[in-house]
Amino acid sequence: MKPARRKEEGRWAWRLTGFVTLCVYIFMFAPIAATVILSFNASMFGGFPMTGFSLQWYGKLMANEAVLAAFRTSLWIALVTAAATTAIGVVTSFALVRFDFPGKQVLSTLVILPALVPETILGVGLLVLIKAVDQPRTLLLLVLGHILLAVPYVVLITQARMVGIRRVYEEAALSLGASRFSSFREITLPLLIPAVVAGALLAFTISFDNTSASLFWRPAGVETMPTQILSMLKISISPEINALGTVMILVTVGIPLIGGVVMQSLTRLRRRGEPKEEAR
Amino acid sequence: MPDRSEASLSPRPVSAGAPGTVPNMDAGQPAVEFRDIDIAYGKFVAVRDFSLSIRKGSFVTLLGPSGCGKTTILRSIAGLVDISGGQIMIDGRRVDDVPIYKRNIGLVFQSYALFPHKSVFDNVAFGLKYRSVPKPEIARRVGQALDMVRLPGSEKKLPSQLSGGQQQRIALARAIVFEPQVLLLDEPLSALDANMREEMRVEIKKIQKATGITAIFVTHDQEEALSMSDRIVVMNGGSVEQIGAPEEVYERPATAFVADFLGKANMLAGTVSKSDGTTAVALAAGQTVNVTSPRPLKPGSRVTVVVRPQKLSVGPAGGANRLSGRVVSTSYLGGSAIYEIDIGGKTSIRANAPINGRIVREGETIEVGFDPSSCVLLDENGQRIS
């Protein structure tokens, strides 16, 4: 624990620090807490004071076909986005880390660029492009858009891990008779798994959460969870939205948390006792 | 077959004292042969005109400082580095265009490179799996290999559960279990601590002898090279300085570089003053010494007299050539001591002599001596006079 602080002012400094910290955390988590707590409110007005504990809003949610459809849509889009983005991220970072080719720097910057461009611009941009080639807005377009948004982050994650996987493992596999593909599948990919898991989770969350770009891209009549909430808000602030919000928090926080724990234990298992590479 | 006298290796029996090794090895067919290899990275030439032929079953060391191209050559045999000119043959087959995974070579890395996510068994079995060896046979041979590196029963362990020395043994087992045509060792001992290093040195040599495998070993450590090799290839700046048996390279260095790199020889510059019968050299330090020259030298030609510190005897009794000087420093090593002696003319020499009687301390004046035949003469270009 902290060493005893004898001086009066030291004690006050610590109290002040504690107080400010508390304020920051309240500021950060109060909206989340309010949403979660109010989702159990018996009152039909989505606000304080609480009038009693109830699960009726969750019941209503389960019966709301529009919400369920939006949830299913979002889930599918997020799963497809996660899978596709992870695959793209793995091969991209493998190429960027393991090979030298002309234009490598440019490519590695270009891959990250979508993360820096404002989402609204990307949203409009993709839409304009689709119009220009005279294509309808489809679910596929929405998925492609989400992949576009998530790829930079996944590449960053997998690239960081790939740099840490020493090339000598692949060389050893090759020297033992494994083809390049086999050595990737048997050696590189398993060592990359923590980054693959992390990247997939992040891509899933990015897709599942996305609002602004989805508003531009979704086909007529299709709602994702965030756009559904938005359109529900236009009518009223129903406690149902709080229940929906709580479900979303569970999905987007819970999944990465579980993934994080799994990943950490994997990494710990593998990192132990690797020798340092010495200059030759 | 090619007659590259500068490169052909000693006629030492292929598997002396090793029972159960492959008999009838074709002495004419080298295990590995380099013909005029050039390796360049862009404009940087890492290896120039390298030719070497390595006899089957022998242990050859590429020795040199960092950046001399030794690792590059090793990696070119494995196919991890592309050569820009010349040919590499393994067992008479040209391999320049054969991809690494089809070359059938065993590779041991400095950093072990055991697959961290695979058990010891899966690591060792890896090469067999890709050679379509049936499962029961794999289990048998992995067991055999682990016995050979004296780690039986470690099949289920993960590399992270092993010490550095144990990991390197497993790496060795992994590299030899599929009976490769050549075993390549890239500074396999330098990541180990000093005690382990010595043990592994003996171990690797034993296993190499027992299996009769052709081994190419890369190191910058002269002790490793001298103690393990049948042949040493001393390299510097991308080309070969000398190829020879350990004692040959040590006793009769071909160049100033070899003399200095292996064991820090004393190099005494001088001029030939007399050359009838015996050769006398007037040293820049002031003294004159008598040396044995393989051929008559012209008086007045500049030479360097190379004497190993171990060849210098300390005290009044030893050697025909006497040099006296003041001891600058004394390093006591237990059985012997290393003296640094200022012999005048801004020249100091090192003597490594057994201690008989008392240790000579700093500041005292002593005499050292050496026999005319226990030195090597280099010409003004740093080449051995022969």
Instruction: Give per-10-residue mean pLDDT for chain A (280 aa).
Output: 62 91 94 86 71 83 87 92 95 91 89 89 88 85 91 94 92 94 93 89 90 86 87 79 86 82 71 44
Which residue in this structure is represented by tokens 């890369």? B218
Q: What whole-number distance in Å separates Cα of residue A46 and Cα of residue B106?
A: 71
**pLDDT score at A20:** 95
Which residues of B are less than 8 Å from A178 in CB distance?
101, 126, 130
Beta bridge partners of B314: B368
Which residues of A are less than 8 Å from B113 in CB distance?
166, 168-169, 171-172
Q: Which of A176, A187, A271 sits opposite B127 (nearest CB)?
A: A176
Of B171, B235, B183, nearest in space to B212 by CA: B183
B51 shares its domain with B156: yes
B254 shares its domain with B268: no
Q: What contacts B232, CB < 8 A, 6 or more positions away? A: B60, B61, B63, B225, B226, B242, B243, B244, B245, B246, B249
B312 shares its domain with B224: no
Q: What whole-number distance in Å separates Cα of residue A204 and Cα of residue A260?
A: 14
B244 shares its domain with B284: no
**pLDDT score at A76:** 93
**pLDDT score at B293:** 83
Of B170, B171, B168, B129, nearest in space to B153 by CA: B170
B193 shares its domain with B72: yes
What CATH number corresponds to the domain at position B242?
A: 3.40.50.300
Q: What angle, 0 to 180 degrees and rounded to 10, lies between the N-to-C axes of helices A239-271 and A225-235? A: 160
**pLDDT score at A274:** 47
Percent of the residues in chain B that have a pLDDT greater than 90, as a whole number: 45
**pLDDT score at A80:** 95
Q: What whole-number distance in Å separates Cα of residue A210 and Cα of residue B371?
A: 88
Cβ–Cβ gap B160/A274 under 8 Å = yes
Which of B115, B132, B190 is most worth mutating to test chain A (most A CB atoms within 10 A of its CB)?
B115
Count each helix (H run) and each strand (E run) in chain B, helices first. Answer: 8, 20
Which residues of B are less than 8 Å from A173 in CB distance?
115, 126
Q: Which of the two residues, B184 and B67, has the higher pLDDT score?
A: B184
Whether B18 is in a domain gets the answer no
Beta bridge partners of B341: B327, B349
State the complex-level ipTM: 0.81
Which residues of A are less than 8 Å from B162 in CB distance?
273
- Where a domain ends, among B259, B287, B302? B259
Which residues of A are less than 8 Å from B187 in CB distance?
280
**pLDDT score at B319:** 67
Q: Which CATH superfamily is domain A64-270 in?
A: MetI-like (1.10.3720.10)
B315 shares its domain with B243: no
Cβ–Cβ gap A168/B159 under 8 Å = no
Cβ–Cβ gap B130/A178 under 8 Å = yes
Separation in Å, CA of B21 to nearest CA in chain A: 22
- For the record, the structure tokens of A213 come out as 């770009």
B14, B21, B53, B69 from B5: Cα distances, Å = 19, 27, 10, 22
Count each helix (H run) and each strand (E run) in chain A, helices first. Answer: 12, 0
Render B155-213 in DSSP notation, one character per residue.
TT--GGGS-HHHHHHHHHHHHHTT--SEEEEESTTTTS-HHHHHHHHHHHHHHHHHHT-
Q: Which of B105, B114, B159 sits opposite A175 (nearest CB)?
A: B105
Question: What digits encode the pLDDT tens for the residues B294-332?
Answer: 888 888 889 999 998 888 888 776 667 888 888 999 888
**pLDDT score at B147:** 93
Provide the strand spans (E) within B260-332.
266-276, 278-283, 288-291, 302-307, 313-314, 321-332
**pLDDT score at B27:** 55
Domain count for chain B, please give it: 2
Separation in Å, CA of B301 to nearest CA in chain A: 40
| pLDDT averaged over every residue in chain B | 86
Render A99-130 in DSSP notation, one character per residue.
---TTHHHHHHHHHGGGTS-HHHHHHHHHHHH
Which residue in this structure is represented by tokens 């592309």? B82
Whether B10 is in a domain gets the answer no
Task: Return the domain boundaries, chain A.
Answer: 14-54, 64-270
User: Does B260 score more than 70 pLDDT?
Assistant: yes
Range of the structural domain that residue B272 is part of: 264-378
Write the burial class of residue B146 (CB in 10 Å: 0-12 exposed, 13-18 middle, 19+ buried): buried
Which residues of A are less than 8 Å from B127 in CB distance?
176-177
Q: What whole-number distance in Å separates Cα of residue B169 and Cα of residue B221?
A: 20
Which of A161, A165, A176, A185 is most worth mutating to test chain B (most B CB atoms within 10 A of its CB)?
A176
Of A55, A63, A65, nearest in space to A243 by CA: A55
B167 shares its domain with B212: yes
- Where a domain ends, among B235, B259, B283? B259
Q: What whole-number distance in Å separates Cα of residue A144 and Cα of residue A150?
A: 10
Write the burial class of residue B169 (CB in 10 Å: 0-12 exposed, 13-18 middle, 19+ buried): buried
In this structure, chain B runs to a length of 386
**pLDDT score at B294:** 83
**pLDDT score at A46:** 58
Q: What contacts B41, CB < 8 A, 6 or more positions away? A: none
B218 shares its domain with B290: no
Q: Which of A168, A182, A190 sits opposite B113 (nearest CB)?
A: A168
pLDDT interval class at B243 (50, 70, 90) = very high
Cβ–Cβ gap A280/B112 under 8 Å = no
A230, A241, A248, B353 from A35: Cα distances, Å = 15, 9, 11, 86
Q: Which of the two residues, A14 and B286, has the higher pLDDT score?
A: A14
Low-confidence winner among B13-22, B154-163, B223-232 (lowest mean pLDDT): B13-22
Q: What whole-number distance in Å separates Cα of residue B83 and Cα of residue B88?
A: 9
Whether B1 is in a domain gets the answer no
Rounded to two decimals, what is the model's pTM?
A: 0.78
Of A84, A96, A63, nearest in space to A200 by CA: A84
- Where a domain ends, among B259, B283, B315? B259
User: Does B22 score more than 50 pLDDT?
Assistant: no
Cβ–Cβ gap A278/B109 under 8 Å = no
Neighbour count for residue A222 (Cβ, 10 Å): 18
Neighbour count for residue B341 (Cβ, 10 Å): 26
